[in-house]
Amino acid sequence: MVVALLGTTTIFAQGFGLGLDYMMLSGTMITDADGNSVTYTADGVTENVSSSSAVLNLNYTHPLSEKLDVVGSLGYGMGFGLIPMKASLSYGIASNISANLGMGMYMVTDDSYVPYEGTIGEDEWKGSSNEFGMNFGVAYNMNAIGIGLGYDMIKGDGNNTLNALTISLSYAFGGESKDKTAPKKKKAVAPKKVAAPKKAVAPKKVAAPQKVAAPKKVAAPTKVAAPKKVAVPNSPVNPQ
Using an 8 Å Cβ cutoff, are 127 and 112 in contact?
no
Q: What pTM does this model have?
A: 0.67
Cβ atoms < 10 Å from Cβ of 104? 20
46-64 tens-digit pLDDT: 899 999 999 999 999 999 9
- Enumerate domains of the chain plus CATH numbers: 2-172 (2.40.160)
Residue among 100, 82, 83 nearest 91 (CA): 100
Distance separating alpha carbons of residues 88 and 81, to the nearest angstrom = 22
Q: For residue 157, what pLDDT is reported?
A: 73
Q: For residue 49, what pLDDT is reported?
A: 93
Regions of the chain where pLDDT drops below 50: 1-12, 240
Q: For residue 5, what pLDDT is reported?
A: 36
Using an 8 Å Cβ cutoff, are 2 and 46 in contact?
no
